[in-house]
Every structure is written in structure tokens, then in C-alpha cells.
Amino acid sequence: MRLHRVHSGHGLLDTVMLRIIRLVAGHAPGVIRTLKYRKKFFGDPWSGLTQRVMRGPSPWTVGEREIFAAFVSRLNQCVF
């Protein structure tokens, strides 16, 4: 179940960005909408964590981590 606010509760700049994404890609993925909704509470901290996990120090290369993420997303039937 998705909250209606995640699809409509964005500020002006985020709304414009989401519309541009929709024009270019055909739709704005739910993960983008979620990250932009309540950015200070969820989006910014989650994006920072993702950056550290995917680009920070690790025995795995960035490419290997990207493959892992793509594989798990595919298993979860996630489109990103």
C-alpha cells in the first residue's frame, strides 16, 4: 500500500523535477517519490547511507556492489 501523500505531498521544485523525470522516463519511480517526500526525515539520511554503503570503503568494488544491488532488486521485482 502506498500513501497518497507520497504521490502528491511534494514542494514546487520536487514536483517539477518529478514531472521532468516522468516526461523523460515515462514514470517517476516510487523510490524517487519516497526519497523526495519528507527529505529531512527520510530522504537525506537514507540517501547518505546508500552513498556510504555503495561508494565507501569495502572489500568489494563499486561495480560488484552495483551488481549485488541490481540482483537483489531483481529478486524483489523492483524496477530500479
Taking each helix axis from N to C terminus, what angle separates 44-55 and 62-75, rounded to the nearest 10 degrees? Answer: 120
Q: What's the DSSP call for residue 37?
A: T
pLDDT in tens, 46-69: 999 999 999 999 999 999 999 999
Q: Average pLDDT of 71-78?
A: 89
Instruction: Tell me, yes or no, if the pTM score tops 0.85.
Output: no
Mean pLDDT, the chain, whole residue set: 86
Enclosing H/E stretch for 10 = none
pLDDT in tens, 21-34: 889 988 878 788 88
Q: Whole-angstrom Cα distance, residue 32 to residue 79?
A: 12
The candidate with the shortest Cα–Cα distance to 67, out of 49, 79, 52, 54, is: 54
* Cα 11 → chain centroid: 17
Residue 9 has pLDDT above 80, yes or no: no
